[in-house]
Amino acid sequence: MVDAINAFLRGLERPLILWLISQGPRYGYELIKEVKRLTGQKLKLGALYPLLYWLEDEGFVVSEWIKKGRRDLRYYRLTEKGKALLVKVRGLFSEPIRGVIADFLSEQKERRAYKPSIFPTNT
């Protein structure tokens, strides 16, 4: 069952990481801790760093090495191109998907039936 849950969450890792970086510069381990805090699932290094490198190669983020104590940490921040990508990704989660997600997360016993606006309603 855990593998199935992880498979579903993997689809949300990329938008979540993009959003986390939009909140301010972040370094890799900080992103891992935040994903764990938000989802309860540990993000694997093998998933995070290839994504960060790809985002940087494509110009969505830039990185900068900053010395903290005795450690050098590579911080990532969004570029204007990255901010535009985040706007597009957020658009994917707008209506009618937002209604579906709200229904999915709802704990009410009587959930409202999702009726896309493209279908006529019989009310």
Query: What is the distance between the alpha carbons of residues 13 and 30, in angstroms, rounded to a whole number?
Result: 14
Low-confidence winner among 3-7, 18-22, 28-32 (lowest mean pLDDT): 3-7
Q: Which fold has domain 2-105?
A: Arc Repressor Mutant, subunit A (1.10.10)
What b/e sequence results for 44-77 when a residue is b if at least 16 CB atoms lie within 10 Å of its CB, and e otherwise? eeeebeebbeebbeeebbebeeeeeeeeebebbe
Residues 35, 13 contacting (CB under 8 angstroms):
yes
- Residue 17, classed as helix, strand or coil, is helix
Angle at 58 between CA 53 and CA 64, to 5 degrees: 50
pLDDT value at residue 85:
95
Query: Structure pTM?
Result: 0.73
Per-residue tokens: 95: 């209506």
Angle at 52 between CA 59 and CA 47, to 5 degrees: 145
In tens, the pLDDT along 73-91 reads 999 999 999 999 999 988 8
115 secondary structure, DSSP code = -
pLDDT value at residue 13:
86
The domain locations on the chain are 2-105
